[in-house]
Amino acid sequence: MSSEPHILVIDDESQILRALKTILTEKKFRVTTASTGEEGLTLAAATQPDVIILDLGLPDMDGFTVCERLREWTHTPIIVLSARDQEHDKVLALDKGADDYLTKPFGIQELLARVRVALRHLTQAHGSKETVIVAAKVKIDLTRHVVTREEVEVKLTATEFKLLAHLASNSGRVLTHRSILTQVWGEPEADNIEYLRVYMRQLRKKLEDDPARPQFLLTEAGVGYRFINDE
């Protein structure tokens, strides 16, 4: 990755494009913009951006289709922006391959935080994946399969560890119920959301200071879960 990460913004609102280009350029990002899905797909292939910021409501095709077509050939992180705040839209975008989702209007600091997460995952995908992840008082050693809380080992079942490791390996990203269930338990359990909730309750009970107010095993209401590690 170059010293100035390259961001492709695909949005048909000219004001949004101008604002994002100005703000991201000031933050030392290189920015390319597109106002249609087809233009965005062409530029993604031609310029190989480090992160793609994508609006769902495009004039020639919806953002779900753009996500799907991008995922046919690239793993570039995709952050979806949309005025749609329905849970169904968020889940569908994430299941189509988006890495994160922000609802308009959004705060620029929140967007920048999501971009940083996306860039971190891009770096990990290029071969420098973290093997020890720290969140609050918890340390997760993915290689040794050891979890400690305040330096004391926490005994997890094999499934609990697999679930925690999957969440921690994708820290900062929203993972849908279906994607987690498929990854941890397999396709036959992809719709068993209550099963996942039971295991999340168990993990929070073992790892969080206050399971009712989790610090790092966060719920994305109606969508899934997000793990937050220490930066």
Residue 74: pLDDT above 60? yes
Specify the pairing of strand 30-34 against strand 6-10. parallel
CATH number assigned to the domain comprising residue 60: 3.40.50.2300
Same domain for 120 and 141, yes or no, is no
201 in a structural domain: yes
Tell which of 73, 93, 125 closes a domain. 125
Instruction: Give the integer Cα–Cα distance in Å for 160 and 203.
Output: 7
Contacts of 213 (CB under 8 A, 6+ apart): none
35 in a structural domain: yes
Same domain for 11 and 110, yes or no, is yes
SS (H, E, C) the chain: CCCCCEEEEECCCHHHHHHHHHHHHHCCCEEEEECCHHHHHHHHHHHCCCEEEEECECCCCEHHHHHHHHCCCCCCCEEEEECCCCHHHHHHHHHCCCCEEEECCCCHHHHHHHHHHHHHHHHHHCCCCCCEEEECCEEEECCCCEEEECCEECCCCHHHHHHHHHHHHCCCCEEEHHHHHHHHCCHHHCCCHHHHHHHHHHHHHHHCCCCCCCCCEEEECCCEEEECCCC
Residue 1: pLDDT above 50? no
On whether the CB atoms of residues 56 and 84 are closer than 8 A, the answer is: yes
pLDDT-derived band at 122 (thresholds 50, 70, 90) equals confident
Q: What is the pLDDT of residues 193-230, one digit of tens each?
A: 999 999 999 999 999 999 999 999 999 988 999 999 87
1 in a structural domain: no
Same domain for 20 and 121, yes or no, is yes
CATH number assigned to the domain comprising residue 183: 1.10.10.10
Q: How many CB atoms lie within 10 A of CB 64?
A: 18
On whether the CB atoms of residues 94 and 76 are closer than 8 A, the answer is: no
Tell which of 91, 125, 159 closes a domain. 125
The whole model's pTM is what?
0.78
Same domain for 85 and 15, yes or no, is yes
Q: Which of 7-16, 119-128, 135-144 has the lowest mean pLDDT?
A: 119-128
Same domain for 112 and 172, yes or no, is no
> To 10 degrees, the CA torsion angle through 62, 39, 49, 58?
-20
Token look-up 């609050």 returns 136
Same domain for 201 and 158, yes or no, is yes
Average pLDDT, whole number, for the chain? 91
Tell which of 125, 156, 173 closes a domain. 125
Same domain for 112 and 207, yes or no, is no
Q: What is the pLDDT of residues 77-107, one digit of tens each?
A: 999 988 877 788 889 999 898 999 998 888 9
Read off the pLDDT of each residue in 25-32 and give the average, rounded to a whole number. 95
In DSSP terms, 62 is beta-bridged to 57
- Enclosing domain of residue 28: 6-125
93 in a structural domain: yes
Same domain for 146 and 88, yes or no, is no
Tokens of 153: 């080992």
Residue 127: pLDDT above 60? no
DSSP3 helix / strand / coil % (the chain, rounded to 5): 40, 20, 35
Same domain for 108 and 196, yes or no, is no
The structural domain count of the chain equals 2
Same domain for 140 and 81, yes or no, is no
Same domain for 38 and 79, yes or no, is yes
Same domain for 160 and 110, yes or no, is no
